[in-house]
Structure 1
C-alpha cells in the first residue's frame, strides 16, 4: 500500500481557519454584549455623567479654557452659564434605540483590550517565534494608545465640537434644538475616531515589519501626511482653525514617534541579521576546524 499524505498537526486548512475565526468573533461579540449589558444597567451614569457631561459648562475642559481666557483677558464662550441648545428625541423609539446603541459602543470601548486579544490569538500562530517575542507587549501598548485617544476625543474634541456647533447661529431667529441621535453621534465619532487615530504607531510598526514603510518614505512624504492629518482633523472637529490645530498637534507628534519606531524596527532587524551572519561564520569556522583536526585512519 502507498503511504498516505497527512497534514501536519500545526497546519490548518482554509475551512479550519474560518472556523477558528468564527469562534474568535463569537467570543469578542459575547464580551461586548456582556459589558454592554452592564452599561445598559448603568443608564444614569452613562447618560447623565458621561454622554451629557460635555453639555454642562462645569465640564473640566470648559473650566480650563475659561481660566485660560480669563488669564489672557479675553471674553470666551467657555465662560457662559450654559450652552444655548436643547436636546430632543422626535421618534417614538428614539430614546430606547439610543440607550441600546450607546450601551453597545460602551461595550466595545471598554472591551477593546479583549477584542484585541482575540485578534492577536488568531494571527499570532502565523508568526515566527521571534516575531511573537518582539510583539509581546502589543496588546498592552495598543490598548493604552486606544484609551489615550478615547480620552483625548472625549475631553478635547467632543467638547470643542459641541461648544462650537451648539453656540453657532446663522440668525437669532433660529434656535438650536438637536436630536438625541445627532448629539450622541458627535460624541461617538469624536471618541472612536481619535481612538483609532492614536493607533498610528502600531500600524507603522507592522507596516515596517512587512517592508511597506521605511523612515525615509515617511520623511519624504511628511508634507503630504501633514495635509492628510489636517483633513482628518477637519472631518472630526468643527470647522474652526483652533480646534483643527488642537487635534492635529497630537497626531503630528504620533507621526514623529512612528518615524522613530520605524527606525528602531529596521535597526533591530539589521542587528539581528548581523548576529545571524556572525553565528553562521562562527559555525562554519568550527566545522572547518573539526575537519582539519580529524585525521584519516
Structure 2
C-alpha cells in the first residue's frame, strides 16, 4: 500500500517521458522560495546584531563634515532596522539568483546555461563595483562639498538627521550600482540583436553629452563631482561598445539558426 502511494506521488511530479509536470514545477518553485525566505529571515537576525557597525560604516564617510542627530524618538532605532533589512536583502540576492539558475537550468541548452551564468556573475560583480566606487570615491567627496563647498555663513552648523543621511547614502549606492550595470545590459541587448555596435559607435557623441547631463543632475552643482560620475560612465559606454561587438547577433541569424535546427530535427 505504501509503495503505491509513493508511485502516485512520483507520477504527479515526473511523468513517463521524463518531463516535470506543472505540479512538480510549482512544488519546486515553492521549495526554492522557502529557501530564500529562510535565508532572508536568518540574515535579518544576524545583521541586527551588527546594525551599529553598519551604521558606523555609513557615517564614517561624513564624519568631520556633519553632526548626526536623531530628531524623532524612534528615528535612530528605525534606521537600525532599515540598514539590517537592506543588508539581509544583499545577502539573500545571490542565493535567490542561484535558485533562479537552478530552477531554469534543466530547460536550458548548454550555450544558454553559460550565458545565464555570465549574466548572474557579471551582474553581481558590476553592482558591487558600483557601490564600492560610490562608497570610496564619490560619496566622501560629495559630502565634503555639500558641507564646506559653499563659502560664507560660517556660523551655520552642518547638522543632519540620521534618517536623511542614510536615505542619501542608500540612494546613491543604488544609482551607482545600476549605472555600473551598463555593460551587462549591453550584452543582453546585443544577444537579442537590439544593441548594434556600429550604431553605438556612431552615436557615441550624443551618448557622451547625455552622460554628462545625467551626471550633472545626480551630483552637486560643481564640475569636479560631475566629472567623477561622468568619466566612469563614458568608460563603461566604450566598454559596452566593445562587448556589443563580441556578443552582437543579428535577428536574421537567429531566425536562420532556428530554421536549421528545425530542419535537422
TM bucket (normalised to shorter chain) is 0.7 to 0.9
> Which residue in 2 is equivalent to 1:90?
71
The CA distance in 1 between the partners of 2:244 and 2:77, in whole Å, is: 46
How big is the shift at 1:107? 2.1
Q: Residues 88 and 8 (structure 1 numbering): CA distance in 2 closer, same or farther, change over 3 Å?
A: farther
User: Is 2:27 aligned against 1:46?
Assistant: no
Q: Residues 255 and 22 (structure 1 numbering): CA distance in 2 closer, same or farther, change over 3 Å?
A: farther
Q: What do residues 55-87 of structure 1 show as CA deviations (whole Å, max 9, x unaligned)?
A: 23xxxxxxxxxxxxxxxxxxxxxxxxx32x311
**Gap regions ≥5 residues in structure 2:** 1-14
> Which residue in 1 is equivalent to 2:10?
none
> Which residue in 2 is equivalent to 1:109?
90
Q: Residues 91 and 201 (structure 1 numbering): CA distance in 2 closer, same or farther, change over 3 Å?
A: same
> Which residue in 2 is equivalent to 1:100?
81
The CA distance in 1 between the partners of 2:136 and 2:171, in whole Å, is: 13
Q: Residues 245 and 125 (structure 1 numbering): CA distance in 2 closer, same or farther, change over 3 Å?
A: farther
The CA distance in 2 between the partners of 1:119 and 1:225, in whole Å, is: 34
**Gap regions ≥5 residues in structure 1:** 1-5, 57-81, 284-297
Secondary structure of 2:239's aligned partner: helix
The CA distance in 1 between the partners of 2:20 and 2:203, in whole Å, is: 40
Q: Residues 216 and 30 (structure 1 numbering): CA distance in 2 closer, same or farther, change over 3 Å?
A: farther
Of 199, 204, 211, the residue aligned with 1:217 is 199
- Equivalent residue runs for 1:1-297 within 5 Å: 10=19, 24-48=32-56, 50-56=57-63, 82-83=64-65, 85-124=66-105, 127-168=108-149, 171-266=153-248
Deviates further, 29-38 or 194-203 = 29-38
User: Contact (CA 8 Å) 1:157, 1:190: kept in 2 or not?
Assistant: no
Which of structures 1 and 2 has the bigger CA Rg?
1
How big is the shift at 1:234? 3.1
Q: Residues 254 and 190 (structure 1 numbering): CA distance in 2 closer, same or farther, change over 3 Å?
A: same
User: Contact (CA 8 Å) 1:190, 1:237: kept in 2 or not?
Assistant: no
The CA distance in 2 between the partners of 1:222 and 1:17, in whole Å, is: 45
Q: Residues 29 and 229 (structure 1 numbering): CA distance in 2 closer, same or farther, change over 3 Å?
A: farther
How big is the shift at 1:11? 6.8
How big is the shift at 1:191? 1.6
Secondary structure of 1:137's aligned partner: helix
How big is the shift at 1:150? 1.3
Q: Residues 198 and 115 (structure 1 numbering): CA distance in 2 closer, same or farther, change over 3 Å?
A: farther
Secondary structure of 1:181's aligned partner: helix
Deviates further, 186-195 or 124-133 = 124-133
Q: What's the TM-score, normalizing by structure 1?
A: 0.69
Q: What do residues 263-292 of structure 1 show as CA deviations (whole Å, max 9, x unaligned)?
A: 11137999999999999xxx9xxxxxxxxx
Aligned length: 249
User: Contact (CA 8 Å) 1:90, 1:179: kept in 2 or not?
Assistant: yes
Q: What's the TM-score, normalizing by structure 2?
A: 0.76
